[in-house]
Chains A and B, each alone.
Chain A
Amino acid sequence: QRFRFCGDLDCPDWVLAEISTLAKISSVKLKLICAQVLRDLLGEAIEYDKILKLTSDAKLESGDVKATIAVLSFILSSAAKHNVDSESLSSELQQLGLPKAEHASGLCRSYEEKQSPLQDRLRACSLRLSQLGSVRWRVDYTLSSSELQEVNEPVVHLTFNVRDREQEKVTAVPVTLSANKFWVLLAGEVPGGVAAETSV
């Protein structure tokens, strides 16, 4: 059976198995655990002790606590990934066996509040090889040189600051251009030549 929140694929077996663990926790506590898991997905620190305290009444073992966090992470991030609205998510979770009245609706309400920030965060985390941080420039005017006494030419210095995602490093790439070359860079071709097509 296909589920939208799993990307129109079958639901993974481990998620099916852990839904019953979720049903053991009371719905109020489930909503609070959801809030913690959402914090973790949004990049803030997760407060594991609070989760342990919340699950202590349901008498879950440590393996079950971790499984609960994992299955909630999966459901919330997968729903955001496939842009599932909260009603569809609620009905699909009920199909999987999560009791409607409190658990599914509570979970989906937490999801609905944080759906946009979650999607923004996932978009920011997408694969990106390198990123332009900033560009600095300076225009000089060369008066003369050892080769020619009167040069009188402008020269453009550019520095591209390229940010590498993984190592969080910023590399500076310096480029020096003559005025003509700078016009080529800006316009896409030699000035005075045929103008570039603008229709797409």
Chain B
Amino acid sequence: MLLVLAAEHRAHLGCVPRAGGAGGAAGRGNRAEPGRGCSCVCSLSVLTAFGELGRLALEQLRRGAAPRACETAARKLNIDVDIIQHGVEGLVYLLTESSKLMASTPFHKEISEVDFQDSIHVLGFSDELKKSLLQLYLDNRKEIRSILGELTPRLPSYHSLEWRLDVQLASRSLRQQIKPAVTMKLYLNQNEDQTSQVLQTDPATLLHLIQQLEQALGEMRMNHCRRIVRNMK
């Protein structure tokens, strides 16, 4: 599956080699002559700039945006903060989209690598840059997928249940009764909050509830579910 990069994203990612080029030019100082090996100097600084941007992109994925880190990087590489910012955002988008869409299984590893290389071909990077980009993607793909997996919305989930069995012997209106009741407090976790629900029922309803839940569990052992579970593994 190919990634389609919008024009804006391509412009952001296009900042990356420009960043390297600008850094290289400033680094070379006032030497007017087009130095020997100037092309390798250029590509080396592009690679360091790219390494820096890659690191910033991964930090942003793990911990959220860090404008101060971008500023320090901008000062170190001698480039505009905006170019760094756009480059980082472009890289973040590229990495999340590729991790999201191009899962790898043992059979599809080559396909997803080829897809990635085809997708970034349109950016017109140099070969070393393309290789480092691919390496960055492959190294961090699993981690990015686990981070993306945690971003799904969550329903309240079970935390614990406290219960109590009481017997009502008498009340103001009626003496000499026997009325058993089960009181439960259900603790639920939702997004790091804990809520609780108090429920009360008589034993007959509780037994019915247990029977319904066991029927639901029993459904897993039916042929239909078994077939699906076997095909998912």
Chain A residues packing against B (C-beta within 8 Å): 126-129, 166, 188, 197, 200
Q: Are B176 and A200 in contact (CB under 8 A)?
A: yes
Q: Say if the beta carbon of B208 comes within 8 Å of chain A.
A: no
Q: Are B185 and A188 in contact (CB under 8 A)?
A: no
Q: Say if the beta carbon of B154 comes within 8 Å of chain A.
A: no
List the B side residues contacting A188 at CB < 8 Å.
172
19 cross-chain CB contacts under 8 A: A126-B162, A126-B164, A127-B162, A127-B163, A127-B164, A127-B183, A127-B184, A127-B185, A128-B164, A129-B183, A129-B185, A129-B198, A166-B196, A188-B172, A197-B175, A200-B169, A200-B170, A200-B175, A200-B176
Residue of A nearest to B194 (CB): A166
Main SS of chain B's interface residues? Answer: strand
List the A side residues contacting B172 at CB < 8 Å.
188
C-alpha spacing A126/B184, complex, angstroms: 11
Greatest chain B CB density within 10 A among A126, A127, A128, A166 is at: A127
Determine how close the nearest CB of chain A comes to the CB of B204; give it in whole angstroms: 21
Which residues between 157 and 214 of chain B lie within 8 Å of chain A, taking CB atoms?
162-164, 169-170, 172, 175-176, 183-185, 196, 198
The interface bits of chain B over 108-130 (1 if a CB of A lies within 8 angstroms of the residue's CB, else 0) are: 00000000000000000000000
Residue of A nearest to B163 (CB): A127
C-alpha spacing A69/B218, complex, angstroms: 35
Determine how close the nearest CB of chain B comes to the CB of A169; give it in whole angstroms: 14
C-alpha spacing A198/B164, complex, angstroms: 28
Across chains A and B, which 5 residue pairs bring their CB atoms closest together, nearest first?
A: A127-B164, A127-B162, A127-B185, A197-B175, A126-B164
Determine how close the nearest CB of chain B comes to the CB of A25; give it in whole angstroms: 30
C-alpha spacing A127/B197, complex, angstroms: 13
List the B side residues contacting A129 at CB < 8 Å.
183, 185, 198
List the A side residues contacting B176 at CB < 8 Å.
200
Residue of A nearest to B196 (CB): A166
Residue of B nearest to A166 (CB): B196
C-alpha spacing A166/B195, complex, angstroms: 11
List the A side residues contacting B163 at CB < 8 Å.
127
C-alpha spacing A127/B163, complex, angstroms: 6
Determine how close the nearest CB of chain B comes to the CB of A36; give it in whole angstroms: 24
C-alpha spacing A188/B172, complex, angstroms: 7
List the A side residues contacting B198 at CB < 8 Å.
129
Residue of A nearest to B170 (CB): A200
Determine how close the nearest CB of chain A comes to the CB of B52; give it in whole angstroms: 37
C-alpha spacing A188/B198, complex, angstroms: 29
List the A side residues contacting B185 at CB < 8 Å.
127, 129
C-alpha spacing A126/B164, complex, angstroms: 7
List the A side residues contacting B162 at CB < 8 Å.
126-127
List the A side residues contacting B170 at CB < 8 Å.
200
C-alpha spacing A197/B175, complex, angstroms: 8
List the B side residues contacting A200 at CB < 8 Å.
169-170, 175-176
Determine how close the nearest CB of chain B comes to the CB of A98; give it in whole angstroms: 29
Residue of A nearest to B161 (CB): A127
